[in-house]
Amino acid sequence: MSKRQITLLLFILCVGLCAPVGAFAQTLHYGFEPDEDASLWQMTGTMQDSTSFRGTHIGHVGKHQEYAFNVGFPFHDSVSLHNQLLEVSGTFRTSASHPGALLVVSVLRDDSLLCWQGTRLGDFANTPGQWFHVSASLKLPADMLVNSKLSVYLWNRQAETWDADQISIGLSPLATPSYVPPVSFSEVRGNHVVLLQRDNVQLHYYPEGKLLLLADRNGEAMSKPLTIQTMTADSTLFEGANWTIERRQVRKTLSRLILRNDNQLFITRMTIEADHQGGELHLSFVCKPRQHTPIHRHSLMLGYLDNLSEMYTPEGFALRNRFADEYYLGQGGIRIGESDRSLLVYHPDNISSVQAKLSEKLIAFNLDYATDHPLLHYPPSKDSSDYFVDVSAKRYRTRQRIRGEFVLYAGVQTPDIACFTRLPNGFEAGIVWTEHADWADLRTQRAVNFGSEQITQAGASTGGFVKYGIPVTKSVFYNNPDQVSNQAISVGLFDGPHATIMTDTAFFGFLKQLQSKGHEICLHTPEQYTTTHKNLNEALVFMQANFGSPVWIDHGYNNKPQNNREDMVCDGLDYKSAHYAAKDWLKTGIKYLWNPYVEEFHPYADWAFEGNLMIPYPGFGQAFPLPLISKIPGHEKLFSWHTTGTLEVPEERLWDFYFSPSRLGSLINHRSIWINHVYPAWVNPEKGFWTYDQEGRIVAEPGFNSALRRIAALRYSGKLLPLTIGELMNYTLAIQHITFRIQDAQTIVLHNPSSEAISGVSMATLHKDVWVNGQRPMSRKSGDEWIFWFDMAPQSSVSIRYAGPIEETGN
């Protein structure tokens, strides 16, 4: 490769990928030949060698040279528009029998290390002295590429002699999976009838094809024909854009249309209501199933014609540029077009979710979407183990209905949208510790909560959760009828029974102390193995009377009769089973159940990044459908929450890795909520939460204390909120039930229909000067935006107005 070719290639890599995702990939190659320009490479050590892998020259590294073959360059801003796949390869040779050199890839920003990956060359070597090929790849999220630079080099960390040849570095756009199916929109033919005409919007109907679309005040189309799409659990797709007019009422103050859409699986009735003056369209749906078929999605698909203006994410971000191709918006929203051709939806709390596919100019209003309520089941079997099935897709009976409604603002001059954030009182991110009760002892419990096994009073804590004021959703066993012992699991360290309420009065007193410090105490099923209905009911009644938590955490799920068949993912939801528990849960106030679906199916495991706590890592984009809270199919009064995996810390230094300032900062910058799954009091220290001090006493692991100290400091600064599952779920549901209405071009009105007050309702906006009911709320800066918060009394409304201009931003 000539010097001009290499310079041009580096320019392409640095100037960036200005073409659409997937348009092209580029590779930087170096074979150490004399006619190749080595100016981009540092510490190459080129030499002639008749045994080279290819050509006549190789790169050579002596045993006293620690680093070699370094190449680096900055990413241009345009590259950060897309995720990138970095691929590095080369051919290497060494005489070392156990080589330890690493091929390193790192990304830095302002001398701060954003990510680092080392590939051990010895894992590819076969015979000393023989050439072998090495390849490594790294998915780079778009947010890591802004104002950052790439570095690739060999780290000769064990002082070995190395030869290298044919090194390549490739960079190509990386698309995330698509979760929005395409739509075959019908072609409009013939003349139209104006079914509805208001000051800002018209509804056009084409009798020839029975098609329905939105138009602006001048009669110009703003959408493609509205289409109902149904997908079954086996991905069979049914579409219908044919609407039959069943009723039309046009009055001076309010008009109503009722239209019917039929496909093979559903009869969908859509009611559209509109007042005379505005462009506020209220759409409601009643969907009657025609077959008893598992449904993956049932959606109204809206193809828009103008360009995207704004996107409103579930985390409360209002995105105005640098859009990705696909978004899962949940109960967020979207604005298309400008002024009298605008279409706006925000906070549609009575449908399953909203998704957007920008390359197709498509919005999916999901009336039901299986991914919004993920669920698995372990069928009972005496002969099977670890067998589970996906039962997320709801199978509707003919007497059941799918219902939904949302408001679409068409051609309306609206204020800038203030978006709900996901935590109260202006906190940007959240962390929830959920403890599973397995294999615990009172001594280890005191260590991880109070700091030492010798501390018996919460007020004297020297470390652990209580010392730093970090609440835990702590599950426990009610009793131990099988006399389960900690002896085997602890390898003889603890020979007594595992901790349960009814077998240890001191443990019960300890739990009451934790409750007084804000911890949430719930059941991890009543006992180690499948319980009886009598014991289940006794445990639930006792827990409700003494702790009052609405949370349940499954334990020991599997297929055999002894595997806690009362679990949600076993038979707890099956009303035909002797182990049916849902009725008892509701009777005793249980409504928030742990859902292990993501842990068992790992749908987004490929999109983790660099040990960050969130999976999928948000920097890869927001296409991934992963709601914070889900209704449980067939049990609409029960809700589930998920975790992505267990947190185990086998080496103390890993506490600083997982809870480093940069990773906690990433959690905050993305306004994420991380719910973990932990076993801090496990009687074997391998989980990493406790250790022994010099006197042999059980104490909280120092690294664990350091992580808690960082979290407490971020709480004090108002950025990171540690909270319980009950607190998170209560707030989330309260916000979902708030109605959001645009009153005029300057005013947003919120209404709390509940009989309960909501404290610390938090919203984000680019405006610094916000007024709520004529008063300035509490607020703080969050990136380019301002988060403000206020309280709402039961069954009350508040008005939100802006006093100042919008603050400019680059988001």
Mean of pLDDT values over 323-342: 94
Q: Is the pLDDT of residue 320 over 50?
A: yes
Asked if pLDDT for residue 170 goes beyond 80, the answer is yes
| Rounded Cα–Cα distance for residues 411 and 216 (Å) | 7
**pLDDT-based confidence at 154, cuts 50/70/90?**
very high
Using the predicted structure, report yes or no on whether residue 19 has a pLDDT greater than 70. no
Q: Are 214 and 410 in contact (CB under 8 A)?
A: yes
The predicted pLDDT at position 81 comes to 78
Q: Domains along the chain?
A: 3-174 (2.60.120.260), 193-420 (2.70.98.30), 429-728 (3.20.20.370), 738-802 (2.60.40)
Q: What's the whole-model pTM score?
A: 0.93
Give me the mean pLDDT over the 659-668 stretch. Answer: 95
- Name the percent of the chain lying above pLDDT 70: 96
- Helix H or strand E encompassing 28: strand 26-30
With pLDDT > 90 as the criterion, what percentage of the chain qualifies? 84
pLDDT of 8 above 60? no
Q: What confidence tier does 806 reach under pLDDT thresholds 50, 70, 90?
A: low
Kindly state the greatest CA–CA separation across the chain. 92
pLDDT at 12 exceeding the cut of 50: no
pLDDT at 317 over 60: yes
403-425, pLDDT tens digit by residue? 999 999 998 888 889 999 999 99
pLDDT tens digits for range 193-233: 999 888 889 999 999 999 999 999 999 999 999 999 999 99
Q: What is the pLDDT of residue 31?
A: 93
Task: List CB contacts of 248: < 8 A, sequence separation 6 or more.
Answer: 195, 256, 257, 258
For 57-67, what is each residue's pLDDT tens digit?
Answer: 999 999 999 99
Under 8 Å between Cβ of 702 and 692: no
- Average pLDDT of the chain is 92
- Is the pLDDT at 497 greater than 60? The verdict is yes
* pLDDT given for residue 112 in this prediction: 84
Rounded Cα–Cα distance for residues 586 and 705 (Å): 37
Length of the chain: 811
What pLDDT sits at residue 313? 97
Across 567-578, average pLDDT: 97
pLDDT range class, residue 85, cuts 50, 70, 90: very high
pLDDT tens across 425-448, in order? 999 999 999 999 999 999 999 999
Q: List the end-to-end C-alpha distance of the chain, in Å, as a whole number.
A: 39
Distance in angstroms (rounded) separating the CA atoms of residues 505 and 501:
7
- Would you call 303 exposed, middle or buried from its count of C-beta atoms within 10 A (0-12, 13-18, 19+)? middle
809 pLDDT above the threshold of 70: no
**pLDDT reported for residue 471:** 98
Q: Is the dihedral of CA 610, 650, 428, 782 positive or negative?
A: negative
pLDDT value, residue 90: 96
Please state the rounded mean pLDDT for residues 84-99.
95
For 31-47, the pLDDT digits (tens) are: 999 998 877 788 778 99
- Give the separation between CA 183 and CA 229, rounded to whole angstroms: 8
* DSSP 3-state of 600: helix
More reliable by pLDDT, 463 or 112 = 463
pLDDT at 17: 33
Nearest to 175 by CA among 393, 351, 22, 370: 22
Half-sphere exposure of 311 (CA within 13 A, CB side): 27
pLDDT tops 70 at residue 811: no
Q: Provide the Cα torsion 710, 713, 718, 719; round to 10°.
A: -20
Q: Residue 52: which pLDDT band, with cuts at 50, 70 and 90?
A: very high
pLDDT in tens, 740-754: 999 888 899 999 999
Confidence of residue 804 (pLDDT cuts 50, 70, 90): low
Q: How far apart are CA 728 and CA 755, in angstroms?
A: 19
